[in-house]
Structure 1
Amino acid sequence: MTTRLTPLDAAFYASETSSAPMHIGSLAIVENAHGALTYDKLVDIVNSRLCLVPRYRQKVREVPLGLGRPVWVDDKDFDITYHIRRSALPTPGSDEQLYELVARLSSRQLDRTLPLWEMYLVEGLEGGRCAIFTKSHSALVDGDESLEIGHVILDSNETPREIADDLWTPGHQPNDATLALQAVADIVSRPGDGIEMVRQTASDIGARVGGTVAAIGKFAAGLHSPPGVAPPSPLNAAISRNRLFDVAKTDLEDYRRIRQQFGCSINDAILAVVTGALRTWLQTRGEPIAAYSSIRAYVPMSVYVGDAGATTANIAGSELSSFLIDLPVGEPNQVIRLSHISHATEAHKRNTRSVTARTLVRLSGFAPASLHAMSVRAASRYGQRMFNLLITNAPGPQIPMYIAGARMLEMYPVSPLLKNQALSIGLTSYDGKVYYGLNADRETMSDVDLMTTLLYESMEGLLNACA
């Protein structure tokens, strides 16, 4: 049996280019001094959990003559060892070498003739650690019916939970004639699909998905109309096919201190830290900054239980919200910047409605990768000129998590770059920390390492203001 890609999935699939691969990435760093996590164990645990994410054994088949949207079909030759790969850093591998490897892997498109995901076990990291880098196509993960693979391979105990044996066998493989006849029948029964196919001839994904808001409406409900074109910014330029990746690691307790001192939310504090870093970064580039200069960010996800930083492993009942916000980089005073951001987010809360996240945590209670995937999908609702920067923010549990008995130490999101966007910033909170993953275009934003340094400085400035 085949399943047709949704209009939004089809738009992501069709819009991908070599300079803008549309996959969601995640980097987990794991304590492995005693060798608990081997390649064979990783293959075994992923294989045992694939029944929870069945689309990871399906590939995309295009319909002849473009008569309909592509379909998902089972991969009759599915080989898990192709999708799970081994890599090694020269011992002792440094974090910087790992980030360079992640940047190279993020730059490569997935093989479109096979299921659209890859996972890498990276060995040789100093300090008895290893890493797992996963990338899944945005068409594959919708955060609702199809979750990200990292969502299901984690456990809250060293002993992996038992999953019923999977007796999967591939379904029937339709031929081209069958696919074409099914597409024609769908058009006859649902004429709107034919109209949608015409829409998909546009070159901009924002235009393509303009008629598919209903597909993501439950995740981005209540958004206002776009307030116009975003201000000019060096963050927006034609991008290359090569990437840079860097990270920052901060303490969740520091954001709680800022929240308590200034009466803001944790999310406001995070946005204020990012704004301070962006302001200084613009100054280092000699960019003119006026008193009312801003950078418009799209922040699709803001999820914190009671705004206490997801203090439990289960975030059921928390809320998802999406909004555009003008970050006040022209304001020199960090406390006033925070106040501006807090007022803007309060106005958003009053005028929009949020959606509960229960479906996202029904398996393991660890939802960040799926939430980041939803963020990118929600951001595609707007055209490329409507915002300067995508910031995804998703919580994880505040207890240790394990992969095949090995403790996960850190978790960094790797959000894709949208068209003409030189930087994306992803954040995940986990076990008392907030982890930043910065994915950047290697040519346009070669100084992404400076941005991570400035994030630390911005955080220090806000904490000094607390004192």
Structure 2
Amino acid sequence: MDARQRLGVQDALWLEMDQPGNLMMVDSLFWTAEPIDWDRYREVTRERLWDRYPVFRSVVVREGDGWYWEELPGADFDDRHERVVLPEPGGDAELQALIASQRTVPLDRSQPLWHATFVDGFHGGSAVLFRAHHAIADGIRMVQLTLSVFDPAPDGAAPRRASRGRGHAVPAAPPATTSTTTSTTTTSLPVHGLGLPRRLARGAVTNPVGAAHTALSLSASLAGSVRSGARSALRVPTGISSAVSGVPGDVDTVRKLVLGTRNDTTGWSGPVGEHKAISWSPPIPLVEVQALAHANDATVNDVLLTCVAQTLRAYLHGHGAMCHSVTWDVPVNLKPFDPSLPVELGNSFALVQLELPTDHDDPLRTLEVVRRRMGRIKRGHEAVVDFGVQAVFSRLGGRLYRVAIDLMANRAVGVLTNVPGPRAPLYVVGRKVEGMMGWAPTTADQAMSFTIYSYDGKVFVGLAADVGLVPDHEQIVEGFTTAFRRMQSLTAPRAG
């Protein structure tokens, strides 16, 4: 890389999307059961990241109508790190609180846009939180960068640059329950009342399909309540839903872009704050997810997405709220996987909008809807079209640019990403890496970042959520495992 290099269109897009409640920061985490020798770890990261990739020694500068990376004279590698000791008892809750406290802390733009926190005392071992601005690279390249400091064996004989993976793609891998203590009290999500009409009125302008879907869902639910005198399973009006479901993929893409998505207005709809929460789960064996997918003639992605839909449904019902459909932005890699990881890094992905059904209590029925909608996305050209739209947005000026970004982002509840990582264990300066997790950034008023991460034959689930919009957030992660086990129990007789 020359002393100065212009940022790509997408890189500049993410650079200008920071706002106080949602920063464009990719947070990556890994942990070991044994303490890490930090001096050795610094040597490895200096050699494999700092020395190899100029962007880690560069700052962003504005010139004319563009942004540039410019190497910072005298940039100090050691200034990009800090070391902390977790408070007792040094468990998941303490590390999650540390990460959450950093989630809305911006990086100094007069310095390179990354920072690492070395954590001592996590379950008697160590952890590393690596934060980098999205302008540096997209999710798959961030994963490759993280993996480049790992080795395939404890002796670290062979530097590991990049692990073969499928990229920053549509979801695929399983989760389990969080070890964070769950509160026994629940906080009501105010779906009814004065706030809902205002949100519906705003949604009618920004997301017409979503507003209409919410109104129809609310009407159907109220009618059902009058008939039964009690809360029952919510059902989407089948006429509109089935008609939209039959639209071919490319026409469906146009519908999402022009008219909006089926993203119901509910308790997590509203302005985000600067107080975030983090949680993750113990792992689920990948072989169990694969077996469940095989038994239902589905993909691993389909099974995991179904579990996401089911846990969101259970969470909302448990808080007295309703929602028939939730839309997520899902990153899709647009370039073939490059194990050499060129030094320029950068971004090359699109965000497709996946509408998950939350109106069915039966997970197998939900699976059928998920499989159909995923099929339309795969057969269509939504990723390429959305990438082009992002490029157009990046060339809009000032306020118009921000309005366009917020318009599209607020048609989704957040970002749902899957990272299929290495299937074999990795080591960092001789210590086995026990687990990995990461959280993509969200923008506008998106309330959640949901991650599914597979590593060493296990699948982890992680959630970053806005505390004000998603109270009792840990219940969503815990509910994922419950949904998975329930689908197993319903599938088992068929598999036999």
Q: TM-score range by the shorter chain?
A: 0.7 to 0.9
Q: Does the CA contact (< 8 Å) of 1:60 and 1:112 recur in 2? A: yes
Match of 2:131 in 1: 135
Q: Does the CA contact (< 8 Å) of 2:151 and 2:158 recur in 1? A: no
1:226 Cα deviation after fit: 4.9
Match of 1:247 in 2: 280
Match of 2:93 in 1: 96
**CA gap 1:401/1:354 in 2 versus in 1, 3 angstroms:** farther
- Report the 3-state secondary structure (helix = DSSP H, G, I; strand = E; otherwise coil) of the residue aligned with 1:246: strand
**CA gap 1:396/1:382 in 2 versus in 1, 3 angstroms:** farther
How do 1:306-345 residues align onto structure 2 when only pairs under 5 Å count? 323-345=352-374
**CA gap 1:346/1:11 in 2 versus in 1, 3 angstroms:** closer
Match of 1:237 in 2: 270
Instruction: Pick from 439, 463, 466 the counterpart of residue 488 of structure 2.
Output: 463
Q: Does the CA contact (< 8 Å) of 1:25 and 1:133 recur in 2? A: yes
Instruction: Pick from 4, 7, 11 the counterpart of residue 6 of structure 2.
Output: 4
1:439 Cα deviation after fit: 0.4
Match of 1:426 in 2: 451
User: Take 1:354 and 1:386, find their aligned partners in 2: how far apart are those partners?
Assistant: 16
1:150 Cα deviation after fit: 1.2
Match of 2:38 in 1: 39
In the TM superposition, what whole-angstrom CA distance separates every residue of 1:279-303 from its partner, at most 9, and x where no partner exists?
01111221235xxx21112222499
**Match of 2:29, as an amino acid?**
L
In the TM superposition, what whole-angstrom CA distance separates every residue of 1:436-467 from its partner, at most 9, and x where no partner exists?
11001122212111111211211111111122
In the TM superposition, what whole-angstrom CA distance separates every residue of 1:379-430 from its partner, at most 9, and x where no partner exists?
x798123322320012101000111111110111122222101111011110
Match of 1:56 in 2: 56
Instruction: Pick from 296, 303, 312 the counterpart of residue 327 of structure 2.
Output: 296
1:350 Cα deviation after fit: 2.5
User: Take 2:140 and 2:284, find their aligned partners in 1: how far apart are those partners?
Assistant: 29
**CA gap 1:457/1:302 in 2 versus in 1, 3 angstroms:** farther
User: Take 2:31 and 2:40, find their aligned partners in 1: how far apart are those partners?
Assistant: 16
1:13 Cα deviation after fit: 1.7
Please give the root-mean-square deviation of Cα atoms over the aligned residues, in Å: 3.2
**CA gap 1:83/1:330 in 2 versus in 1, 3 angstroms:** same
In the TM superposition, what whole-angstrom CA distance separates every residue of 1:257-286 from its partner, at most 9, and x where no partner exists?
211110000000010000000001111221
How many positions carry a matched residue from both structures?
368
Match of 2:178 in 1: none
1:322 Cα deviation after fit: 5.8
User: Take 1:461 and 1:147, find their aligned partners in 2: how far apart are those partners?
Assistant: 31
User: Take 1:401 and 1:381, find their aligned partners in 2: how far apart are those partners?
Assistant: 39
In the TM superposition, what whole-angstrom CA distance separates every residue of 1:88-119 from its partner, at most 9, and x where no partner exists?
11344111101111111222111111000011
Instruction: Pick from 107, 110, 117 the counterpart of residue 107 of structure 2.
Output: 110
How do 1:244-393 residues align onto structure 2 when only pairs under 5 Å count? 244-248=277-281, 249-289=283-323, 293-301=324-332, 323-352=352-381, 383-393=408-418
Match of 1:178 in 2: none
User: Take 1:237 and 1:163, find their aligned partners in 2: how far apart are those partners?
Assistant: 46
The percent of aligned pairs where both chains have the same amino acid is 23
Q: Does the CA contact (< 8 Å) of 1:55 and 1:146 recur in 2? A: no
Q: Does the CA contact (< 8 Å) of 1:43 and 1:84 recur in 2? A: no
- Report the 3-state secondary structure (helix = DSSP H, G, I; strand = E; otherwise coil) of the residue aligned with 1:133: strand
Single out whichever of 86-95 and 108-117 deviates more from structure 2: 86-95
TM-score, normalised on structure 2? Answer: 0.68
**Match of 2:363, as an amino acid?**
Q
Match of 2:470 in 1: 445
Q: Tell whether 2:224 aligns with 1:225.
A: no
**Match of 2:150, as an amino acid?**
L
**CA gap 1:324/1:100 in 2 versus in 1, 3 angstroms:** same
Instruction: Pick from 147, 151, 155 the counterpart of residue 147 of structure 2.
Output: 151
User: Take 1:411 and 1:147, find their aligned partners in 2: how far apart are those partners?
Assistant: 10
TM-score, normalised on structure 1? Answer: 0.72
- Report the 3-state secondary structure (helix = DSSP H, G, I; strand = E; otherwise coil) of the residue aligned with 2:358: coil
Q: Does the CA contact (< 8 Å) of 1:223 and 1:352 recur in 2? A: no
Flag structure 1 segments of 5+ consecutive residues without an equivalent: 165-205, 207-220, 304-312, 315-319, 356-379
1:52 Cα deviation after fit: 3.1
